[in-house]
């Protein structure tokens, strides 16, 4: 049974703000229940390429040993071939040459033979090339096209990243609520999203999909950073309305407290899992809660009248429908996407990058001209909580800023402890 550690004393509907005031529910499990996952121990026991595919008997290795139904997936255009090859070369060298998971490429138009031949030549794993259904990459019938055109002009004028591009709105919507519905993925349970022109800096010596499955994880991220709030001004209001109307769908151990800013009236702090790197459960996205939430946002038009991004949408969905214990920080995987760069500490000989601080990428996506108010603590520290939020004795925000700092360098733990 589930034993609540905090209870409410009124009968009003549950709201997102209520969720931040709850302490997590602790599961009281019967003696015969399954063992609670221990991801740290799993990594200690399996970070030696235990489940790598045998080079001498690859097909037998792939078919046996209860292998997860998983794939590397990428939404990519034919014109992005060079960038895709860059990403593939590094991920194959660092990981997939040992594990041989298939690559599945998606495009809103058919792939060229050059794209297919070039990508197949980079891997001994199987490759598949799929077209996004037209209904998943076009303006929905309930969207006012004139209003959409006006919003494109406005978003471009104020400088919201790629907000003026029609295709970018389609992409955000597809990544938010349609990729996991593609017919080709129906027989898959797990995915690793791979973008073109990204970098993977570290050897990965375990099967990330087995790790996710064996430890009952729903979502894995690599960076947790601020987004430009001008992209989605109504997202939080609509999310609160959804939570109120669908309180029965919210996970009993949901924790949105780390996404609320107490110095700003408990409004959304605009933190997000940087979703161009994500490893996750397709069945989580297929679940009733996420589907209802996506449809709620979609019908409101925010993917077109604003620029709802898949990163904040995924972040809020994961926070509402999964407990924190089923969300994993892949701190050990070095990664770079454009200006955002993550390199783990204590992996000498395994990584070709200089370790970055815990808070390295906190507000890089927020333009200087954006008037949004930054939260008191960095996003990753709010997610981790506890000791990670403690400040050094005598340190103050005002004191640091007086000497030219940004007010985020007073933490006791520097981040190289992980």
SS3 of the chain: CEECCCCCCCCCCCCHHHHHHCCCCEECCCCCCCCCCCHHHHHHHHCCCCCCCCCCCHHHHHHCCCCCCEEEEEECCHHHHHHHHHHHHHHHHHHHHHHCCCEEEEECCCCCHHHHHHHHCCCCCCEEEEECCHHHCCCCCCCCHHHHHHHHHHHHHHCCCCCCCHHHHHHHHHHHHCHHHCHHHCCCCEEEECCCCCEECECCCCCHHHHHHHCCCCEEECCEEECCHHHCCCHHHHHHHHHHHCHHHCCCCCCCHHHEEHHHCCEECCEEECCCCEEEEHHHHCCHHHHHHHHHHHHHCHHHHCCCCHHHHHHHHHHHHCCHHHEEECCCCCEEECCEEECCCCCCCCECCCCCCCCCCCCCCCCCCCCCCCCCCCHHHHHHCHHHHCECCCCCHHHHHHCCCCCCCCECCCCCCC
Annotated active-site positions, please? 278
| 208 contacts 94 by C-beta, under 8 angstroms | no
Q: Report d(CA 111, CA 105) in Å as an integer.
A: 9
| 244 contacts 384 by C-beta, under 8 angstroms | no
Q: Which of 226, 263, 264, 221 is nearest to 359 (CA)?
A: 226
| 218 contacts 326 by C-beta, under 8 angstroms | yes
Token code pair at residue 201? 């800096």
- Count CB neighbours of 208 within 10 A: 21
Token code pair at residue 215? 């430890």
| 221 contacts 231 by C-beta, under 8 angstroms | no
Q: Which of 415, 409, 410, 407 is nearest to 392 (CA)?
A: 410
């Amino acid at each position: 049974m589930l034993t609540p550690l905090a209870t409410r004393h009124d009968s009003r509907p549950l709201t997102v703000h209520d969720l931040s005031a709850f302490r997590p529910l602790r599961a009281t499990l019967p003696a015969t229940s399954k063992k609670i996952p221990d991801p740290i121990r799993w990594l200690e026991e399996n970070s030696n390429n235990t489940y790598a595919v045998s080079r001498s008997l690859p097909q037998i290795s792939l078919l046996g040993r209860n292998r997860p139904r998983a794939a590397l997936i990428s939404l990519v255009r034919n014109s992005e071939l060079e960038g895709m090859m860059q990403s593939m070369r590094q991920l194959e060298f660092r990981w997939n040459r040992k594990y041989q998971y298939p690559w599945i490429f998606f495009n809103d138009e058919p792939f060229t033979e050059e794209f297919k031949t070039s990508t197949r030549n980079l891997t001994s794993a199987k490759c598949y090339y799929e077209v996004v259904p037209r209904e998943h990459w076009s303006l929905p019938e309930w969207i006012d096209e004139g209003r959409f055109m006006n919003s494109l002009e406005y978003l471009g004028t104020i400088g919201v990243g790629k907000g003026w591009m029609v295709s970018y709105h389609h992409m955000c919507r597809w990544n938010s609520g349609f990729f996991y519905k593609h017919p080709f993925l129906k027989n898959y349970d797990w995915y690793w999203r791979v973008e073109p022109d990204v970098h993977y800096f570290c050897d990965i010596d375990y099967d990330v999909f087995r790790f996710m499955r064996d430890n009952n994880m729903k979502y894995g991220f690599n960076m947790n950073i601020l987004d430009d709030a001008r992209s989605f001004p109504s997202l939080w209001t609509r999310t609160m309305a959804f939570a109120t109307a669908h309180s029965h769908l919210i996970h009993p151990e949901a924790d949105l407290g780390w996404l609320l800013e107490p110095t700003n009236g408990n409004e959304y702090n605009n933190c997000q899992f940087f979703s161009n790197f994500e490893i996750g459960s397709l069945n989580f996205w297929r679940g009733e809660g996420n589907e209802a939430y996506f449809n709620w946002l979609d019908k409101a038009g925010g993917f077109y009248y604003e620029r709802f991004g898949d990163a904040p949408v995924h972040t809020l969905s994961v926070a509402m429908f999964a407990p924190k214990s089923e969300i994993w920080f892949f701190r050990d995987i070095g990664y770079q996407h454009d200006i955002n760069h993550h390199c783990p500490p204590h992996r000498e000989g395994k990584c070709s990058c200089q370790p970055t601080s815990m808070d390295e990428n906190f507000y890089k996506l927020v333009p200087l001209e954006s008037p949004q108010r930054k939260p008191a603590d960095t996003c990753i520290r709010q997610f981790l909580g506890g000791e990670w939020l403690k400040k050094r004795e005598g340190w103050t925000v005002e004191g640091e800023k007086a000497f030219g700092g940004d007010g985020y360098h007073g933490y006791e733990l520097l981040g190289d402890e992980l």
